[in-house]
Amino acid sequence: MGCGRPNSWRRFRLPERPEAVERAVAYLAAGADCVYPIGLWEPDALHTFIAQVDGPVNVLKLPQTPPVAELSATGVARVSWGPFLHHAALASFAAELAVLDR
């Protein structure tokens, strides 16, 4: 699977958003299976991006990202957890160990 990353969204500067859409559309036209705008997580911005791109969009599940069901309702095709699922599991494990140490 090829996934285009229109990273121009990362800095959250408004002039770069049209560039991110242009890159995403170009990646899909070149054969990418999906696009992956790293750092884009706000529901309204996601909805706008997805509507403008008209193709599968992958989102990184950041701590502030809405729940997966809400992302799905927005039109997100795929969610990547990055290191955050691992971090949550380690934090939960550490909390359990702290209880055992008492």
Note the pLDDT tens digit of each residue in 19-62: 889 999 999 999 999 999 888 888 888 889 999 998 999 999 88
Other CB atoms closer than 10 Å to residue 20's CB: what's the count?
23
* Eight-class DSSP state of 78: E
Q: Residue 8: give its domain's CATH number.
A: 3.20.20.60
When divided into structural domains, the chain yields a total of 1
Task: Confirm if 64 and 40 have CB atoms less than 8 A apart.
Answer: no
Task: Confirm if 64 and 45 have CB atoms less than 8 A apart.
Answer: no
The predicted model scores a pTM of 0.71
Note the pLDDT tens digit of each residue in 60-73: 988 889 999 999 99
Q: pLDDT at position 15, please? A: 41
Domain containing 82 equals: 3-100
**Percent of all residues in the chain with a pLDDT value above 70, rounded to a whole number:** 84
